[in-house]
Amino acid sequence: MVQNIVEYLRQCTVENLFTKDSFEKSFKCWSAQIKKLAPAHTTRERLDLGDHLHEIFNQTAPPEGEEKRSQSSVSKGGKNWEALVCWYLNICTVGRNTVVVPPIKDLLPQPILDAVTIQIGAFSFFSGTGFGCSFFPESLGVSD
């Protein structure tokens, strides 16, 4: 199958999510629930997954009553939540001219990277906040 640049960017984005050990391990746990909720992979089922992302995500939460709220676990949980949402948004936009990219320097175009980089004196800081949602107009011909 020939892949256009939009789908290639989506593929790179989603593959990058799975390079994080924590997300890959969590997704293995989540996948059974995802398959149960979207067995036929229809557009409606994929969209409806959004109503269940919280319960899917909570499958990897510590058992009730067990408190594991170290800074490290909270940070990993936040990153996994962000990655799950990014994965979800991208599966909802397959075949469309829109790609959702998390704040990963290697996947952001230079002008956007420049816009989210903070310069203080001689130091540059990548703010890396939020997702970037790129829409590619039909007139660019990138979806052919």
Q: Rounded to whole angstroms, how far apart are CA atoms 57 and 36?
A: 14
What does the pLDDT read at residue 87?
Answer: 95
- What was the pLDDT predicted at 114? 80
pLDDT of residue 24: 93
Full domain range(s) for residue 121: 5-140
C-alpha of 134 from chain center: 13
pLDDT (0 to 100) of residue 75: 66
Give the pLDDT confidence score for residue 109 in this predicted structure: 73
Label residue 121 exposed, middle or buried (CB < 10 Å: 0-12, 13-18, 19+).
Answer: exposed
Task: Report the number of distinct structural domains present in the chain.
Answer: 1
For the chain, 144 residues long, the average pLDDT of each consecutive 10-residue run is 82 92 92 94 92 91 60 71 93 91 74 79 74 77 62
* Alpha carbon distance 4, 144 (integer Å): 6
- Cβ-Cβ contacts under 8 Å for 124 (sequence gap 6 or more): 117, 118
